[in-house]
Amino acid sequence: MYHDQLDAFPKHFLWGAASAAYQIEGGWNADGKGPSIWDHFTKIPGKTFKGTNGDVAVDHYHRYKEDIALMAEMGLKSYRFSVAWSRILPEGIGSVNQKGLQFYEDLIDELIKHNIEPVLTLYHWDIPQSLQDKYNGWESRQAIDDFDHYARILFDRFKDKVKYWVSFNEQNVFTALGYRWQAHPPNISDVKRMFESNHIINLANAKAINSFHELVPNGVIGPSFGYGPMYSFDCAPDNILAELNGEEFQNHWWLDVYVHGKYPKVTLKQLNRLGIAPTIKDGDMELLQSAKPDFLGVNYYHGGTVRANEIEHPLQIDEQDLEKDFQATDPYLMKPKEEQAQSPETRMFTNVSNPHLETTDWGWEIDPIGIRIALRRLQNRYDLPMMITENGLGAYDELGVDEKVEDDYRINYLSAHIKEIQKAITDGVEVIGYCAWSFTDLLSWLNGYQKRYGFVYIDRDEQDEKRLERIPKKSYYWYKNVIQTNGEEL
């Protein structure tokens, strides 16, 4: 579908930028803050690039006024940030740390003073370490009530100041990296435990959304999902089937629960067969069905291309095995069930690289049309308003001798994606805002400070905090103009 003329962006479109507490704040133990699992994890040798951590990060905790002044100067309409649970409740439960709460109140007031709409994320990956120690964090159902208690403190305090709320950030990413790939805290490699904790997080999400609707009738809430549309490698029917499997296993597995309160049947059956489906207790599905988000937050970086497994890995079977029985024709089924369970997607699809797409310096595919495809698919299936809550380019920015950063590559990247969003809006998709990742440079979870995303350069690196000076890049001025023209000049 091609349009002669594109619709204008909606009048009150929320042109924004995003961040997360651990990646920018620093002040890791300031004013009574307790440690989170990230404070703990980053101290394990070999886990992050050059051992970087968020102890100081970009010191936003002490410099938020300076950062918000730069947002105001840019004309930013919205700013998405996350609250660190362990600043509010250092032990995860118990008495409130008033200074921690006050920090966020001051931040929100400062945003409002400058007409910047706050978008508050309740959870961007940093459960308090004390809850991890006490009952294994998200593996315990106690976390559902404790998260709700924490969320209600924020709903109560900020219900008249904050309209837009995000419940969980990229549940698909932090459960996979934390419980399967040992790349994030809590540093576990166990697929069964991943599905169990994921179910508990679904319940926590639903319970908090219900509390929100009780306490904040004028606000809106939704999860931010890390969505990557799946593409079939080609039109061979078995690859199309692989695409269907990939979309269900990687995306609908979460989104169907958020929006419709149910797990996709085919994936659930497969997980049950392998003995790794989550334990669903009486009342769980009712809770999931009772909570409906008001909008979907979409974090878009790239999608994924898949093909049928047998093509990618041609069958290699011992002559002897062939004698056995029909199952011998499928090497996957010959593995013990426990081994099959460690890679449940094996027979559903295989990831391959897409020959049509270039990649970033970190190997992430660059696919602007994918954001339109994402929005179209999500509108089709879930029919909720959407906010792009993250999208951006990680690059090695260089501060020139003239103290300038000429990041034309970032401008090209963002411009191409925003144009596709405009096409999706013209198609008929309801998009209420766009948060670029990120406003300032910040700590990349595993990649230190060299992988930069911001409109504002921060003068620090892995070894040296330097002056932590804020220097607007070329993209800062470009985005300022995008906002001023409400997207007419991209």
Based on CB atoms, which residue is closest to ligand BGP, 276 or 393?
393
CA nearest to 202, candidates 239, 242, 230, 175:
175
**Distance from the Cα of residue 378 to its chain's centroid:** 16
Candidates 254, 258, 439, 445; binder of ligand BGP (CB under 6 A) is 445
* Binders in 207-236 for ligand BGP, by CB under 6 A: 226
Task: Give backbone dihedrals phi and psi of 80, rounded to 5 degrees, phi first.
Answer: -100, 125
- State yes or no: is 365 an active-site residue: no
Q: Which stretch binds ligand BGP (CB under 6 A): 24-32, 103-111, 327-335, 437-445?
A: 437-445
Q: Contact, 389 vs 119, CB < 8 A?
A: yes
Closest CB to ligand BGP among residues 250, 299: 299
Where in 392-455 does DSSP place strands (E)?
431-437
- DSSP bridge pairs for 458: 470
Which of the residues 170, 247, 248, 365 is marked catalytic? Answer: 170
Kindly compute the dihedral angle of the four CA atoms of residues 310, 311, 317, 323, in this order, to the nearest 10 degrees.
Answer: 60
Of 299-328, binders to ligand BGP (CB under 6 A) are 299
Closest CB to ligand BGP among residues 72, 416:
416
Q: With binding defined as CB under 6 A, does residue 170 bind ligand BGP?
A: yes
Residue nearest to ligand BGP (CB): 444
Determine whether 390 is an active site residue: yes
Q: Which residues contact 18 (CB under 8 A, 6 or more apart)?
A: 79, 80, 81, 119, 389, 390, 435, 436, 437, 438, 439
Interface with ligand BGP (CB under 6 A), residue from 86, 121, 167, 169: 169
Residue 178 binds to ligand BGP (criterion: CB under 6 A): no
Residues 365-404, interacting with ligand BGP (CB under 6 A): 390, 394
Of 29-37, 214-222, 317-325, 441-449: span binding ligand BGP (CB under 6 A): 441-449
Residue span binding ligand BGP (CB under 6 A) among the ranges 34-42, 326-334, 402-410, 445-453 = 445-453
Q: How far apart are CA 199 and CA 194, in angstroms?
A: 9
Site membership for ligand BGP, residue 447 (CB under 6 A): yes
| 440/434 Cα distance (integer angstroms) | 16
- Please report which residue ranges of 46-184 form alpha helices under DSSP H: 60-74, 85-88, 98-113, 129-135, 142-158, 171-179
Return the number of the residue (342 or 447) whose C-beta is nearest ligand BGP: 447
Q: How far is the CB of 435 from ligand BGP (least distance, A)?
A: 11
CB of 360 to ligand BGP, least distance (A): 9
Length of the chain: 490
């011998």: which residue's tokens? 328
Would you give the binding string for ligand BGP spanning residues 11-30, x where CB under 6 A is met? Answer: ---------x--x-------
**Choice among 25, 139, 390, 420 that is catalytic:** 390
Bridge partner residues of 117 (DSSP):
78
Spatial strand order in the sheet of 230-232: 230-232, 304-307, 350-352
The token pair at 188 is 């576990």
Which residues are part of the catalytic machinery? 170, 390
Interface positions with ligand BGP (CB under 6 A): 20, 23, 169-170, 173, 226, 299, 390, 394, 437, 444-447, 451
